Amino acid sequence: MIRKYGLRIGLVCWLTLVWMLLWGVVSVANMLAGIAVALVITVLLPLPVIPVQGRLHPVSLLRLIGRVVVDLIKASTQIAWLTVRPGPPPQSALLRAPMSLKSDLTLALTASILTLVPGTMVVDIDQSQRILYVHVLDVRPKGAIDDFYRQLAHLEKLLIAAFEREHEWQPSREGAPE
């Protein structure tokens, strides 16, 4: 109960902050208007409840964040090199990436991380089969596709360690008869 209302209050505060940043003026009137808009959004357009299973492991989460930062820097450097290097344009491909993640939330997080990293973009998710379809910018160098799958497997391992450890996993009770 406390968590539910705490999340809603946090969402209202976040939406109010975004409203004030969009207007670029910090004033009482702007803050009150932001709160009013945030309340209308949260009451009339509520987000669906997403079941969260497992536990968060902070050390594993830090490893995951570190890996994502390294991937961002590495991919940005590679994209920069692709734009200035002489030669033919890069060859792209759409790759099918089966995942073994259990949670829809973790699957969505994986898709978000992949889309955030320059040079890759998730174009479709087969939720029931746990398959991501990923557009990869440069697959011409020998072994580039294997490297992508190896990096994806490492990312998946880090996500499982941070959010879905097998011994802590419990299936969602949402929709189950009581």
End-to-end CA distance of the chain: 19
Same domain, 147 and 80: yes
User: Tell me, what's the pLDDT at 176?
Assistant: 43
Q: Which domain holds residue 121?
A: 58-168
| DSSP string of 114-136, one letter each residue | HHHSTTEEEEEEETTTTEEEEEE
Q: Is residue 174 part of a domain?
A: no
DSSP structure class, residue 168? G
Same domain, 78 and 143: yes
User: Tell me, what's the pLDDT at 164?
Assistant: 83
Same domain, 85 and 123: yes
Select from 72, 117, 116, 124 the least CA-distant residue to 97: 124
CA gap 139, 159 in Å, rounded = 25
Q: Is residue 140 part of a domain?
A: yes
What is the percent of the chain with per-residue pLDDT over 70, rounded to a whole number? Answer: 88
CA angle (116, 149, 75) in 5-degree steps = 35
Per-residue pLDDT tens digits for 40-70: 998 898 877 766 666 788 999 999 999 999 9
Same domain, 12 and 89: no
Q: Is residue 99 part of a domain?
A: yes
Same domain, 19 and 63: no
Per-residue pLDDT tens digits for 71-96: 999 999 999 998 898 888 889 999 99
Q: Is residue 117 part of a domain?
A: yes
Q: Is residue 50 part of a domain?
A: no
Same domain, 97 and 36: no
Q: Is residue 10 part of a domain?
A: yes
Single pTM value for the model:
0.71
Residues in the chain: 178
Same domain, 6 and 83: no
What is the percent of the chain with per-residue pLDDT over 90, rounded to a whole number? Answer: 60
Same domain, 144 and 90: yes
Q: Per-residue pLDDT for 174 more than 60?
A: no
CB within 8 A of 16, min separation 6: which ones? 31, 34, 35, 37, 38
| DSSP string of 63-109, one letter each residue | HHHHHHHHHHHHHHHHHHHHHHS-SSPPPPEEEEEE-----HHHHHH
Number of domains in the chain: 2
Same domain, 62 and 149: yes
User: Tell me, what's the pLDDT at 45?
Assistant: 87
Task: Give backbone dihedrals phi and psi of 96, rounded to 5 degrees, phi first.
Answer: -95, 125
Same domain, 73 and 122: yes
Same domain, 117 and 164: yes
Q: Is residue 160 part of a domain?
A: yes
Same domain, 76 and 155: yes
